[in-house]
Amino acid sequence: MVGDDLLNANKVTVSFLIDGEWQTGIYDVDLDIAHGEVLALVGESGSGKSTFATSVIGLHNPNQTKVTGSITLDGKELIDLPDEEQNKIRGEKIGMVFQDPLAALNPLMKIGQQIQEALDIHDVYQKDQYYDRVIELLNDVGIVNPQRTANQYPHELSGGMRQRVIIALAIANDPDLIIADEPTTALDTTIQAQILDVLLEIRDRKDTGILLITHDLGVVAEVADSVAVMYAGQIVEKAPVQELFENPLHPYTRSLLRSNPKAEQADDELYVIPGTVPALSEMDHHKDLFLQRVPWMQDQADEDISDDLVEAKPQHFVRGNAWKTFEFQDEKG
Ligand SMILES: Nc1ncnc2c1ncn2[C@@H]1O[C@H](COP(=O)(O)OP(=O)(O)OP(=O)(O)O)[C@@H](O)[C@H]1O
Ligand code: NI
């Protein structure tokens, strides 16, 4: 049902084995997605967004990656599932859409065959239903002449068409959750809007939950119901979309909003967040590392509140947690 919990991630921590040492990529991530909800996960490059997505679908190499915590889909624990079960869930319950559709398609196979194969694996459909189902899926993602497209090879299609095909593949088995990692980043604006519409239509029709990973706050404003902001492997703030745009709490969220080229103050110079996301080896999960990158926070250095702030764990900014709110200085000041 719409609004019921679909995905619950609890204290998800992922570490990578790097040069013989375990380094933490994401730390204590809590995220929930309801049936029919679009949750946008935003943050700079390297903040850990894809790492979270990969841990949900179990697509990591267990010898080099350690995932702890809990991720449940409709109550079923996904962490440490045997491969076979993992594959089944990945094919039937979770659909994936990534940035580069060409990489995800087999160049030597016609589109129709590829979709048929996705259906084949899970043998829900009888052989004679395949063709109809393939056409139906292509139709569902807004492809105008599905018979023709089914007969084409990936290289014969435009980028936008290929991404529609990828979505058709992702929804082939009616998943409950779609994970879309930068699904429109490589596309131009008009096509981008069309692809997002396709995803929203599927959500409306099937109450699919969607985890949408994006850099683009314009996209977030357009399609998300709620937003989680990730920085240096942690969720620093999450909120319903309108609340986040109207009243961002964490300084990082504020910086992100300021650095968004589509923000209203078009006459202002585009704000660039100084510095970069720390490397894994520099991360300290007991400190709010972002504060080092907020110049206007330095002005408050004398005030005792900033000491608290520096020591505060980012989770304290998560709405709903009782924590003192403080007044940030005007960011333009
Ligand atoms: N398999 C891996 N082994 C080692 N380090 C990794 C691995 N996967 C990710 N990392 C590191 O974890 C951090 C987070 O990476 P991740 O790809 O999740 O970020 P992201 O937010 O998705 O970035 P982008 O927006 O560029 O896609 C980075 O420092 C990255 O180098
Ligand atoms: Ni990524």
| CA-to-CA dists, residue 52 to 58, 68, 125, 144, 235, angstroms | 10, 12, 32, 35, 11
pLDDT range class, residue 322, cuts 50, 70, 90: very low
Query: How many angstroms separate the Cα of 118 from the Cα of each of 8, 122, 156, 282, 310?
Result: 26, 7, 20, 42, 49
Pocket test for ligand 1, best of 49, 51, 217 (most atoms within 8 A of CB): 51
pLDDT at 319: 43
State the amino acid at position 331 in one-letter form: E
- What are 279-293's pLDDT values in tens digits? 887 776 666 666 667
The protein residue whose alpha carbon is closest to atom 25 in ligand 1 is 45
Q: Is 96 left (phi over 0), alpha (psi -120 to 50) or beta?
A: beta
- For residue 63 and ligand 1, the question of a CB distance below 6 A is answered with no
Residue 321, pLDDT > 50, answer: no
Q: 181, 261, 251: which is closest to 221 by C-alpha?
A: 261
Atom of ligand 1 nearest to the CA of 215: 25
Ligand 1: nearest atom to the Cα of 65: 1
Closest CA to 328 of 236, 247, 260: 247
Task: Tell me the residues surrounding ligand 2 (ion) with CB < 5 Å.
Answer: 49-50
Q: Are 160 and 194 in contact (CB under 8 A)?
A: yes
Whether the per-residue pLDDT at 305 is higher than 80: the answer is no
Helices and strands in the chain, H and E counts: 13, 10
Amino acid at 185: T
ipTM beyond 0.90?
yes
Domains along the chain with CATH numbers: 5-93+175-324 (3.40.50.300), 107-173 (no CATH)
| Cβ proximity of 36 and 3 under 8 Å | yes
CB 26 within 8 A of CB 12: yes
Cα–Cα distance measured from residue 148 to residue 114, given in angstroms and rounded to the nearest whole number: 14
Kind of pairing between the strands at 65-73 and 38-42: unpaired
333: pLDDT strictly greater than 50: no
Where are the strands (E) in the chain, listed by range? 5-18, 21-34, 38-42, 65-73, 76-77, 94-97, 177-181, 209-213, 226-231, 234-240
**Please, how many CA atoms are within 13 Å of residue 299, restricted to the half-sphere of its CB?**
10
Distance (angstroms) between ligand 2 centre and the Cα of 115 equals 25
Q: Is 4 helix (H, G, I), strand (E, B) or coil?
A: coil
pLDDT of residue 171 exceeding 90, the answer is yes
Spacing, Cα 186 to ligand 2 middle (Å):
13
The preferred substitution site among 24, 27, 50 for testing ligand 1, maximizing ligand atoms within 8 Å of CB, is 50
Ligand 1 centroid distance, CA of 56 (Å): 15
Phi, psi of 15 (to 5 degrees): -120, 150
* Under 8 Å between Cβ of 52 and 179: no
Residue 230 CA: nearest ligand 1 atom is 21
Tell me the per-residue pLDDT of 235-266, one tens digit each, with 9 for 90 and over: 989 999 999 998 888 888 888 888 876 545 55
Is 316 within 8 Å of 323 (Cβ atoms)? yes
For residue 221, the one-letter residue type is: A
